């Protein structure tokens, strides 16, 4: 029994800086508009994803944690 997480990218805020990809490349990629998008929440561990969230220069990424 662990925590299930959901990761969201606010496309209106995202500037495509790629810092999220630097920290969690298995979780994020850029879409055709050059905006970050989540491709695999299970691609990186929660610590790497949190680093990506914390490094976003415009605060476009959020994590929701569900206790199960």
Q: Where are the domains of the chain?
A: 3-67
pLDDT at residue 66, as a whole number? 80
- Res. 65 pLDDT band, cuts 50 70 90: confident
| 3-67 fold | Alpha-Beta Plaits (3.30.70)
- pLDDT, tens only, 21-63: 999 999 999 999 999 999 999 889 999 999 999 999 999 999 9
Cβ atoms of residues 31 and 50 within 8 Å:
no
- Backbone angle region of 5, left / alpha / beta, with phi > 0 → left and psi within -120 to 50 → alpha: beta
- The two structure tokens encoding residue 37: 């998008």
Beta carbons within 8 Å of 7's beta carbon, 6+ residues apart: 27, 38, 41, 49, 53, 61, 62, 63, 64
Q: Do strands 3-9 and 61-67 pair parallel, antiparallel, or not at all (unpaired)?
A: antiparallel
């Amino acid at each position: 029994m662990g925590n299930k997480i959901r990761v969201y990218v606010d496309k209106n805020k995202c500037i495509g800086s790629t810092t999220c990809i630097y920290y969690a490349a298995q979780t994020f990629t850029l879409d055709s508009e050059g905006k970050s998008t989540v491709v695999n929440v299970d691609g990186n561990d929660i610590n790497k994803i949190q680093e990506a969230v914390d490094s976003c220069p415009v605060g476009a990424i959020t994590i929701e944690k569900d206790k199960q």
